[in-house]
Structure 1
Amino acid sequence: MLNWEDPLTTRPAAPAPSRAPQAEAADSRPETGADARPAPAAEPAHAIRPVNPDDKRVVNGLTDVNQLAPFKYPWAWNYFLNANKNHWTPLDINMASDVHDYFHKLTLEERHVYENVLAYLTTSDILAMRNIGLAVMEKMSAPELQIYQARQVYEEALHTWTYQHCIETIGLDQSEIYNRYRVVPEIHAKIRIANRRLDSVMRPDIDLRDRGELMNFLMAYIFFAAVFEGTWFYNGFTPVFALQRRGLMKGTAEQLQYIMRDEVMHASFGIRVAKQIMQEENIRPDPAAMREMWDEAEAAERAYAHYLLPDPILGYTAEMHSDQFRFIANRRAKQLGLEEPYPDAECAVEWLDEQANLRKEKNFFETRVTEYQTGGR
C-alpha cells in the first residue's frame, strides 16, 4: 500500500476485518427463487482475439482504441513524429526590440493592427484547443490519430501562452485585449461562427452511427481544419509579417512564424482525416452547405479585415487580406477534393508562403541550424 507521507516506501495493508459467523453462513447458502442471481458469464471469446488493423476506422471503429500498433494510418504517426522535431517556448525569442518598436516606431494604425491580431488569436487558439481536446479526440477510434491530436492540444496551449507572453512583454492592458472578442463585433463574429460549430459536436448525445450526426461532425471537422486553422489562421498572421518585412516587431513575427508552421500541420492533418472519413463512411459534404460555409467565413473575414485595416499600413491593405483569404480557401478546398469556392481568386500576398516553407531556423542560443518539418502549406 502506498505511503502518502513517503511515496518511496510502502507500508503493509491493514488486515481485512473478520466477518461474523452468521454472515459467513448466510453467504454460503445458495440463492434460490426471485433473489437468485446467475453466475457471471465467461468472457466472450472475441474479447481475446488479436486486433486486426484492417478493422480500424477514424470513427465508429471496431478495434481496441488502446492498442497503437499495427498502424492502419502510419501517416498519422508520422505527423506526430514530425511535430516533435520542433520544441520551443516563447521565452526562447528575444522581444526587447518589439517593446522599443511598439512605443517608438509604430504608428497608431500599426498599433491598432498589432493589438487586434493578438486579441483575435488569443481567443481563437483556446477555441482550437477545446475543439480537438473536447469534441474530436474522444470520437477518434484509432489511437495513432489521437496521439497526434494530443500533441496538437499541447501546441494550441503553447500558442496561447505565446500570445499572452507578447501581450505581457509589450505591457498591453490584458483585460482590455482579452475582452475585445466580446466587444468588437468584427472579432466576435468569427468567434461566434466557430463556437456554433464546436457546440454542435460537443453534445453528450451525439451518435456518429447516425448519418445526419456523422455529416454534421464531418462539416464541423472540415470547418476547423480548412477554414478556421487552414485559412483564418494562415491568413491571420499576415499583418504582423507585413510589419516584420519592414524590420518591425520581429520578435512577435518570429513567434508567429513558429506557430504558423504548427497550424499548417494541424490543417494538413485535419484535411487528411476528413478525407479518410469521407472514404471510409462513403459520405460527401453537401455542395450547398460547403458554399454557405465558405461564404459565411469570407464575409466574416472581410469585415474583420476592414476593422483591422480601415486605412492601409505600409505594405498591407484590407483588400490584400480579403483577396488572400479567397486564394487560400481555394487551396484548402482543392486539398479536400472539393470544388474551389472562388475560382477567379489570385494570390495577393506572394511572400506569405515563405513564412511556412522555410525549412531552416537559427538556434537562438547556440547559433546553429536546426530543421523543422512541416506537413504542407
Structure 2
Amino acid sequence: MSALRFDDWDMPAAPAATRAMPGAPAPAGTAALAPAAPAGGEAAPSAPPSLAPVNAADKRIVNGKTDINQLAPFKYPWAWEFFLKANRNHWTPLEIGMAQDVHDYHHKLTGAERHVFSNVLAYLTTSDILAMRNIGLAVMEKMSAPELQIYQARQVYEEALHTWTYQHCIESIGLDQQEIYNRYRVVPEIHGKIRLASQRLERVMRSDFDLANRDALHEFALSYFFFAVVFEGCWFYNGFTPIFALQRRGLMKGTAEQLQYIMRDEVLHCAFGIRVVRELLKEENLALAPDALRTLWDEAEAAEAAYAGYILREPILGYNAELHVQQFRFIANRRARQVGVAEPFPGAENVLPWLDEQANLRKEKNFFETRVTEYQTGGALAWD
C-alpha cells in the first residue's frame, strides 16, 4: 500500500502526468497547461494596483488602519517577547505524577479539606473556559496589531491546556465529573463569580461592538481591565492559594505542582493584560472613570468574599476565609499600582507571606510577582 500523502486527505491525487511543477516542461505526450484565452480574443485583464507599504508607527492597540496580516516591523515589540517567553514554558499535565494525590484525597484529607479542594477545581475549570472564550471571541478580534494577536492566540491555547489540567486532576482522583462540572451552575457562591465575569465581558464579545465610539471604547477598556487585572491577576492568583496551603503541609503536591505550572502562564497573561491596558489608555488619551472602577472593585470583592465563605465554611489548618479575602485586597492594591490607578483597599496587608515562596516550583524567585524566568521547551525547565 502506498504511503498516505498530505493531499490525499481532501481529494484523490491527480494522475502523475498532470502533476508537473510550475515552470517545468510538460511530460512527453501531454499538452502544456496554459491560461485559457479570454473569449473573443480580448486582452487579459491588467494586474490590480499595488498597495502602499505599512508604516509600523501607524499601528494601534485597537482601531488600527494598517494591515492586520503584516507582523513586522513591530510597534509593540514587548508583545512579541511575551509570545517567545510563553513558548519556552511548554508542558502538559501528563508530566506530573498524581498517584500520591489519589491517596491523600481519599485517606489523608479531612472532610473540610476535600470540600475546599473539589470546589477550587470546580471553579477553576469553568473560569479557564470562560477566559479562553473571552480572549478568542472578544479580545483578539478587536486588537488591530498582529503581534498582540499572536500572543493572545498562544493564550487561548494555554487556557485550553489549563482546562485539560484541571480535568486530569479531577479524573485522576476519581471525582464525579457530572457533579463537579455542574457546581458553577448549582452552587450560588461559585455561580456568582462566573455570572459577574460573564456580565462584565459579554457585551464586548460582540463583533459589532464599535470601538470608534468613545463610550464603547471606555467600556471595552474597563472590561479588559476587569479581565486582566481582576479575573486573572487577582481571582486566579487567590484561586490557587487554598491548594498551595495544602501543599505547604505536604498534601496534594501533584495538583499543587500542576497549578504552579499554570501560574507561570498566568503571570504572563496578567502582565500582558496590564501592559495592554496602560498602552491603550495612553494611546487613546483615555482615563478609566473612578466611580466605574470603584463599582468594579466592590463587586469583585463581594463575589470573592462569598466564594471564600463557601469553600472555607470550615477553616482548614493554616487557612481560612478571612485570610483569603484579606489577601485578595492586598493583591488588588498591587495590581492597581501596576496599572497606575488608585489602590482600591488602602492599608491592606500581606497576610500570607509564605505565598510568595510557595507559589514557585523551586523557590528561587516569585515568578508571579517579579519577572518571569527563562524556560526551556519540553519537560525540563531551566531556572536562572
TM-score (norm 1): 0.87
Distance in 2 between residues matched to 1:7 and 1:263, nearest whole Å:
46
Amino acid across the alignment from 2:259: L
Equivalent residue number for residue 371 of structure 1: 382
Q: Residue 344 of structure 2: which of 331, 341, 346 is its match?
A: 341
> In structure 1, how many angstroms separate the alpha carbons of the residues matched to 2:16 and 2:185?
53
Residues 360, 370 of structure 1: 8 Å contact kept:
no
Q: Does 1:245 align with 2:248?
A: yes
**Aligned equivalents of 1:43 and 1:12: distance in 2?**
30
CA RMSD of aligned residues (A): 2.9
Q: Is the 8 A contact 1:235 1:325 kept in 2?
A: yes
Task: Give the 3 Å change call, closer, same or farther, for CA 10–300 of structure 1 in structure 2.
Answer: farther
1:371 is paired with a residue whose SS is coil
Which AA in structure 2 matches 1:223?
A: F
Instruction: Check the 8 A contact 2:88/2:374 in 1, yes or no.
Output: no
The answer to whether the 8 A contact 1:197-1:220 is kept is yes
- Residues 332-363 of structure 1 show CA distances to partners (whole Å, capped at 9, x for unaligned) of 11111000000110011112222152678999
Dislocated runs of 4+, deviation >2 Å: 2-13, 40-44, 358-363, 369-373
Is 1:166 paired with 2:169? yes
- The alignment partner of 1:343 has SS state of coil
Q: CA 1:331/1:360 → structure 2, altered by over 3 Å: closer, same or farther? A: closer
User: Structure 1 residues 51, 330: closer, same or farther in 2, change over 3 A?
Assistant: same
- Distance in 1 of aligned mates of 2:176 and 2:320: 26
Structure 2 equivalent of residue 185 of structure 1? 188
1:109–1:311 CA contact under 8 A, matched in 2: yes
Paired residues for 1:105-144 under 5 Å: 105-144=108-147
Q: Distance in 2 between matches of 1:70 and 1:361?
A: 25
**2 CA distance for matches of 1:8 and 1:93?**
47
CA distance in 2 between counterparts of 1:54 and 1:362 reads 31
Q: Distance in 2 between matches of 1:105 and 1:152?
A: 36
Q: Per-residue CA shift, 1:102-126, capped at 9, x if unaligned?
A: 0000000000000000000010000
> Structure 1 CA distance, aligned partners of 2:16 and 2:321?
66
How many Å apart are 1:138 and its aligned residue?
Answer: 1.0
C-alpha displacement of 1:83:
0.6
Matched with 1:21 is none
**1:85 aligns to what?**
88
Task: Show the 5 A alignment for 1:196-345.
Answer: 196-345=199-348
Distance 1:310 1:8, change over 3 A: farther
Measure how far apart 1:370 and its partner are: 2.2
Aligned-partner residue type, residue 166 of structure 2: Y
Contact 2:375–2:381 (8 Å) recurs in 1: yes
- Code of the residue aligned with 1:370 in structure 2: it is L
**1:120 and 1:372 mapped to 2: Cα distance?**
31
Q: Deviations for 1:37-89, whole angstroms, at most 9, x for unmatched residues? A: xxx99956xx6222111101000112111111111111111111111111110
Aligned residue pairs: how many? Answer: 352
Residue 66 (str. 1) matches residue 69 (str. 2): yes
Contact 1:200 1:216 in 2 (8 A): no
Q: In structure 1, what is the Cα distance between the partners aligned to 2:290 and 2:48? A: 47
Distance 1:10 1:75, change over 3 A: farther
- The separation in 2 between residues aligned to 1:210 and 1:307, in whole angstroms, is 41
Letter in 2 for 1:117: V
Q: CA deviation at 1:5?
A: 4.9
Question: Which residues of structure 2 form unaligned runs of 5+?
Answer: 1-6, 20-32, 361-365
One-letter code of the match for 2:336?
Answer: A
> Which is worse superposed, 3-12 or 172-181?
3-12
Residues in 2 aligned to 1:164 and 1:268: alpha-carbon distance in whole angstroms: 26
* Amino acid in the other structure paired with 1:349: L
Secondary structure, aligned partner of 2:381: strand
SS of the aligned residue for 2:88 comes to: coil
